[in-house]
Structure 1
């Protein structure tokens, strides 16, 4: 995959110590990876590169929103995402990124590209189950929600909370759990 130059940090001219970089991530970043789950994205990424004599400590800190669709109603909404990620860059004989927290660059390298780490961190920060905030508090009005409410089984709440309609065979089996 072609590297995005704006996410390549040249470290050869930097002094030993901490250096900060800021990025604004939009949908063009995710389109580069062929990821089309987000309608829009507005994420601020702060990168702290701590250069040491033999290695680089890189800290990613991001926050913002991504436009996704609700899993229940398919309504679009802005999902807040935030997270932190830390990885170490060391130098060795050849390039190796098999370990997720350790990147080995060949001796003589003068820059590091962080785009893959940024991409994975943000995508993994999005909840696997996306639910519109209006679903939980009841403010979202949607045809799908109305249809789900119409098709909801009647009397299911009473059966779960009350024990008056339980099968006596189950009651006998429950006694076995407490008898030791």
Structure 2
């Protein structure tokens, strides 16, 4: 099955639309990301609103995404719901040939009567997810797990300082080298 077939519900036919603003709503779930062979989410529940403003010579699309993706915490590997929000502005114009090199401008060939927004939705959401995914329970101390306890144990201990200001004799020679200039 081709990618475009898979994402047929993300085709926005704009030819029959009046010059005005039109709203399109999508509910994005994990199957959407799986279709892109993206498997970093355990689950996804995201609402995407697209406002298409049809003008005489171009289309302007404003994408807004809000929802959660379920991911594993980078530290504890515990799954949790991570809130995500994304925004994207896209201008669509007709030109000689298809060109999507500029992320904010899409050029489609004359005669095209629809655009597929799946790729834009995908990128907007994936980019909205922070690189470091930390379970909120780690930050506020409510998550206890074997892994967290192990991490605590492995944390480097504060170096014990000598009470009588003695220094390690091996460092003294090095310090002397630094001061003898």
- What are the ranges of 5 or more consecutive residues in structure 2 without an aligned counterpart? none
Matches within 5 A, 1:30-109: 30-109=33-112
After superposition, where does 1:99-138 map in structure 2 within 5 Å? Answer: 99-138=102-141
Provide the residue aligned with 1:24 in structure 2. 27
Task: Identify if the C-alpha distance between structure 1 residues 165 and 80 changes in structure 2 by more than 3 Å, giving closer, same or farther.
Answer: farther
Larger displacement relative to structure 2 (1-10 or 41-50)? 1-10
Taking the aligned partners of 1:38 and 1:152, their CA distance within structure 2 comes to: 29
State the 1:154 CA deviation. 1.4
Aligned positions, number: 166
Q: Structure 1 residues 80, 165: closer, same or farther in 2, change over 3 A?
A: farther
Which portions of structure 1, spanning 4 or more consecutive aligned residues, are displaced by more than 2 angstroms?
A: 164-169
CA distance in 1, matches of 2:113, 2:155: 61
Relative to the length of structure 1, the TM-score reads 0.86
In structure 2, the partner of 1:176 is none
Give the root-mean-square deviation of aligned CA atoms.
Answer: 2.1
Which is higher, the Rg of structure 1 or of structure 2? Answer: 2
- Structure 1 residue 165 displacement after superposition: 9.6
Which runs of no fewer than 5 residues in structure 1 stay unpaired? Answer: 174-180
1-structure distance, mates of 2:88, 2:102? 14
**C-alpha separation in 2, matches of 1:165 and 1:20:** 73
Alignment TM-score, normalising by the size of structure 2: 0.86
Q: Secondary structure at the match of 1:100?
A: coil
